[in-house]
Structure 1
Amino acid sequence: MAASRGVRRWRQLTVWLHVVTSVGWMAQALTICVLLTTSLTADDRAVAVSNTASAELLDMRLLAPMANASAFTGFMLAAATPWGFFRHWWVLTKFAITLVQLYLGIFVLSDALHESAAAAVAGTTGPTRAMVVGSACMAGAIAFQAWLSVTKPWSTTRWTANRGRGGAPRTAPVWVFVATVCGGLLDFAVAWLLGHPAPLLSLTILGTWLVLRWRAERRESRPEPVAA
């Protein structure tokens, strides 16, 4: 009983951390959208430079660490609970959207912000309308994911029916949720100190648990020996 209470408590803390970082991610995306919009429409070059530089700073110091922590806790909640990644369409949709957001945010928007900040200082150019639209779409996608989490629409996927006799995956032991909360917070602190995200601990925790769960599922799926 004490073990189940511990799992429930730390699972709730994981959900709390996921919600807080997701809201923070969306808030920073909206803030960057406003800063870039103001930079585009500003007549004063100093205002445009300042707003673009502020957008870049927010992206590296807050948005990126929030995004990584949100994605990490979301992935762990799927991997460490009976929800899984591919059993329900709403979870699979959130998973796919998060991967796209991380790719676009890390490899497209962040690079574009860095180049625009440098260009704004040089007086050559600044942020583009595509960057404004991209940051707004990022915030909208997070809001849509929140709706999915609340309503849990649609049916289960065909992977649920084809899972076999193993049924839904079990909830992970308490140490998995403890590691998720502590690892997410530590990686956020490291990102704050370094000035850029470095989610090495989060990736290690996620990878370790996925391997352990895969091995456990393989053992459970083996046919029972027939008595002589």
Structure 2
Amino acid sequence: MTVWLHVVTSVGWMGQALALFTLLAISRATEDGEIRVAATSMAHEIDTLLLAPLANASAFTGFMLAAGTAWGFTRHWWVLAKFVITLVQLYAGIFLLSGALQDSVAAARTGEQAPVALVAGTALMASAIAFQAWLSIAKPWGKARSGGKLPTAPTWVFVAAVAAPLADITAGLLLGFPLPALSLIVLIVQLVRRRRQLRPTPAEVPAPAL
């Protein structure tokens, strides 16, 4: 179920990024001021109500799959690449894209076009997600580091990995803005569990040489 939700939300994230690209491209191409304002405003609404919750859920389920299975975060190059790309996308989406979209709505009302960088950024976001999908299928580059097999989390962890983002999406739609609070709590709990599991027991710690 966690893999299913990760795939569904990732496809949704890419689809909404393409929708933003299309709307912003229309806002730049049209000479009609009303269409420009409508297209830019719709892009902002899609970003807030759809893209952001889907992006949060996609990232969270991906992190949970890494934290709850033998794959880990840094044992394989392709997983590490996905992890880094996801972090960059989340940062860009939260701190750059959302603010720029809001500014573009105000600018469109004065007759200005959406910035080229904003249009290119949405295309780059969709392309990055498509590249991550390829990484998941091809699994290139081998292992980043060796080590024993990581333990798989119990079933309740993966149940929580599905329930938490769905609850957060519902809460976000009711509040009018994304709020991945429960997802963050579940992820932190699992990271703490994994850290404790990887600690050597007293019997495994070598005795000091005399």
TM range (shorter): over 0.9
Structure 2 counterpart of 1:79, one-letter code: A
2:92 equivalent in structure 1: 104
Kept in 1, the 8 Å contact 2:33–2:111? The answer is: no
What CA distance in whole angstroms lies between the structure 2 residues aligned with 1:43 and 1:77?
47
Offset of residue 193 of structure 1:
1.2
2:123 equivalent in structure 1: 136
Tell me whether 1:148 sits opposite 2:135 in the alignment: yes
Where 1:74 maps in the other structure, the secondary structure is helix
Tell me whether 1:174 sits opposite 2:155 in the alignment: yes
Where 2:179 maps in the other structure, the secondary structure is coil
Offset of residue 126 of structure 1:
3.5
Structure 1 counterpart of 2:36, one-letter code: A
Kept in 2, the 8 Å contact 1:39–1:127? The answer is: yes
Number of aligned pairs? 207
TM-score by length of 1: 0.88
2:186 equivalent in structure 1: 205
RMSD: 1.4
Deviations 1:11-36 (A, max 9, x none): xx000000000000000000000000
Deviations 1:62-92 (A, max 9, x none): 0000000000000000000000000000000
What CA distance in whole angstroms lies between the structure 2 residues aligned with 1:125 and 1:58?
20
1:25-36 map, 5 Å:
25-36=13-24
What CA distance in whole angstroms lies between the structure 1 residues aligned with 2:30 and 2:206?
75
What CA distance in whole angstroms lies between the structure 1 residues aligned with 2:62 and 2:123?
21
* Structure 1 pair 37–219 and aligned structure 2 pair: CA distance change class (3 A): same
Structure 1 counterpart of 2:117, one-letter code: A
Deviations 1:85-125 (A, max 9, x none): 0000000000000000000011001100001112212x152
TM-score by length of 2: 0.95
Tell me whether 1:38 sits opposite 2:19 in the alignment: no
Structure 1 counterpart of 2:156, one-letter code: W
* Structure 1 pair 191–222 and aligned structure 2 pair: CA distance change class (3 A): farther
Where has structure 1 moved over 4 Å in runs of 4 or more?
A: none
What CA distance in whole angstroms lies between the structure 1 residues aligned with 2:132 and 2:112?
34
Where 2:199 maps in the other structure, the secondary structure is helix
Structure 1 counterpart of 2:138, one-letter code: T
User: Aligned residues: percent identity?
Assistant: 57
Unmatched 5+ residue regions in structure 1? 1-12
Unmatched 5+ residue regions in structure 2? none
Deviations 1:172-221 (A, max 9, x none): 00110011100011011111111211001000000011011101211458
Match of 1:89 among 63, 77, 80: 77
